[in-house]
Amino acid sequence: MKKDSPVCVELRNVSLNYLSNGQNVHALQDVTLAIRQGEFVAIVGPSGCGKTTILKLVAGLLPPTRGEVLIDGTPIKGPQKNVGMAFQNPILLPWRTALENVLLPLEIVQPHRQEFARNRRQYEEQALHLLHTVGLEGFADRAPYELSGGMQQRVSLCRALIHQPEILLLDEPFAALDAFTREELWGVLQTLWQDRGCTVILVTHDLREAVFLASRVFVMSKRPGRLVQEAHVDLPRPRTLENTFEPAFVGLVHQLYTCIGEVRA
């Protein structure tokens, strides 16, 4: 990502209130941020502070109550097609193979549907290439139940990227995995991002994960969620697990840890 890349995602003074059962839940309060094309940012903050809500706003699944959400300078009006998403639970269709799960968005999202019907072979090549990148070469024809949790999450990352979205939204994607698998997938995600150059917003509880992957980390307050700090991670890339033991890395994690402690108190 170049420092002067154009802004891709922008929130301008965004507030969001949920109305449920007559109750007004003030989820976000006056959030302003700008993320450049190709940037990798992370959002951390206490449970219930509105992190998932921010991703839903960027995906166009929710309109803001106040303020504006823009993609490439245009205020968004509804669900976005140039966005890929992956969540804590990979939610693969059990009756489909890994490859067929990766191809799923192409069968659903216009304008890919027609192209996909005509050029199925070509898209399958792309899906196989993605599976190869995440270390699942040879597993394309396996059913989800034959794959470990970490492998399923790799499939889910491929599925989020198959339609070559400009923006990748990740909601605690590795939270359900054991520590070794999780840290292995940091490297996988870093490679995917460096290959593709998409803009990534990662929501995570794991401060080391945030520092490993992101160029900037936003810290949010308790609900109603506001941005309270923005940490720049100027560590060289590609980052390795070995780097996570170095003073610069540990110092940044510690700084975030202190900030989160203050926010939660």
Nearer to ligand ADP, 24 or 194 (CB): 24
CA distance 127 to 98: 10
Cβ-proximal residue to Mg ion, closest one = 52
Q: Binds 53, which of ligand ADP, Mg ion, none (CB < 5 to 8 A, cut-off by type)?
A: ligand ADP
CA distance 112 to 106: 5
Alpha helices in 201-246 (DSSP H): 207-213
Nearer to Mg ion, 52 or 119 (CB): 52
Q: Binds 89, which of Mg ion, ligand ADP, none (CB < 5 to 8 A, cut-off by type)?
A: none
Question: Applying CB under 6 A, which part among 18-26, 131-139, 149-157, 237-245 lies near ligand ADP?
Answer: 18-26
Nearer to Mg ion, 14 or 102 (CB): 14
By DSSP bridging, strand 199-203 and strand 40-44 are: parallel
- The tokens describing 93, both together, are 């269709």
Q: Which of residues 39-78 bind ligand ADP (CB under 6 A)?
A: 47-53
Classify 44 as helix, strand or coil: strand
- Specify whether the CB–CB gap between 235 and 249 falls below 8 A: yes
Closest contact distance (angstroms) between CB of 225 and ligand ADP is 7
CA distance 33 to 219: 12
Using CB under 5 A, which of 52, 243, 244, 255 touches Mg ion? 52
Chain residues in the site for Mg ion (CB under 5 A): 52
